Amino acid sequence: MSDAFVQMSLDEARDFARNVLARHGLKPPHVDPVAETMVAGERDGCASHGLYRLLVCVHTLKAGKVMPDAEPVMMDAAPAMVRVDACGGYAQAAFELGLPRLVARTRRLGIAAMAINNCVHFSALWPEIEAVTAHGLVALAFTPSHAWVAPAGGIKPLFGTNPIAFGWPRPDGHPFVFDFATTAVARGEIELHRRAGKPIPEGWGVDGEGNPTTEAEAALAGAMLTFGGHKGSALSAMVELIAGPLIGDMTSAESLAHDDGAKASPYGGELVVAIDPAGFLGAAAAEHMQRAEALFAGMTEQGARLPSQRRFEARVKSLAEGVRIPRALYEDLRASLD
């Protein structure tokens, strides 16, 4: 094993994450769900959403930009709506509180939505998507972030990375899931390039003058770019609207203003939509869900890779062999325990 990495079992990674979070003041109701999100990222080969995010959480806790002991509160809403006020805490505990009600209302009404308000969000959306698809429901999720991203044709940050996630339950095996930022790449990937002293590809970002750059530091100080030009930009604007003003929460620009230079994790809202196939199809749901399998087969039989396939393959390996953490990251995190 290379000295550049530290080998850990998933249980060791989980305990390590819990210890770091607790050491920096995060209270017990939040420690497990927040740690589990990072372990899931590491387990699935998503290093930018793995234990690296502990550095982000430690900084956010130190900056006082998350309530470490927040108690999320369920709020009254319309029959097909669930609202949870995270009360300034991380989104994970609020999501866990609201999920059973979201599932129950979706089962009863065919479709329902959950708004999580006043939360700090640092992670990928696919762990939440998988939690919904585990109930046999189709799922979508959206959340703004900080204003790090220039709209197509612009050079100044206005949008967040603004991920869109979708999940489709399958009768056997893993769900069909995609989760991607509306930027050319997740911000965490640029951060990892900065830490490693590696250049970034062209098209990921521009410098403070709006010029294309391959320097990670310059892109982080300037603006990230959306994928697909005006198409990604329009989708990013959609996320701003439906997970911001629509649910009474912040846009990415407002989140960055709230941050006030602390460089902590984004603060705002998240929208989760769940759909029960039986709500449309009744007893015929199983038949039509099986028809969807022909679509997936049509993709894979011609050599296409389903979204998240690589992640699921990494999961199988990690469950058996554990994970490798860059030693420099491990030492930084271990030092934070002193």
pLDDT tens figures, 238-284? 999 999 999 999 999 999 999 999 999 999 999 999 999 999 999 99
Catalytic residue among 30, 49, 121, 193: 49
Catalytic residue among 48, 174, 217, 258: 48
Q: Is the pLDDT of residue 1 over 50?
A: no
Give the side-chain half-sphere CA count within 13 A for 55. Answer: 18
Cα–Cα distance measured from residue 224 to residue 226, given in angstroms and rounded to the nearest whole number: 7
Q: Is the pLDDT of residue 145 over 50?
A: yes
Per the CB < 8 A criterion, the answer to whether 275 and 138 are in contact is yes
Q: Is 326 helix (H, G, I), strand (E, B) or coil?
A: strand
Answer yes or no: 128 catalytic.
Answer: no
Please state the rounded mean pLDDT for residues 151-175. 95
Answer yes or no: 48 catalytic.
Answer: yes
CB atoms within 10 A of CB 211: 10
pLDDT tens sequence across 70-86 = 999 999 899 999 999 99
Answer yes or no: 189 catalytic.
Answer: yes
Catalytic residue among 42, 128, 130, 189: 189
Residue type, 230: H
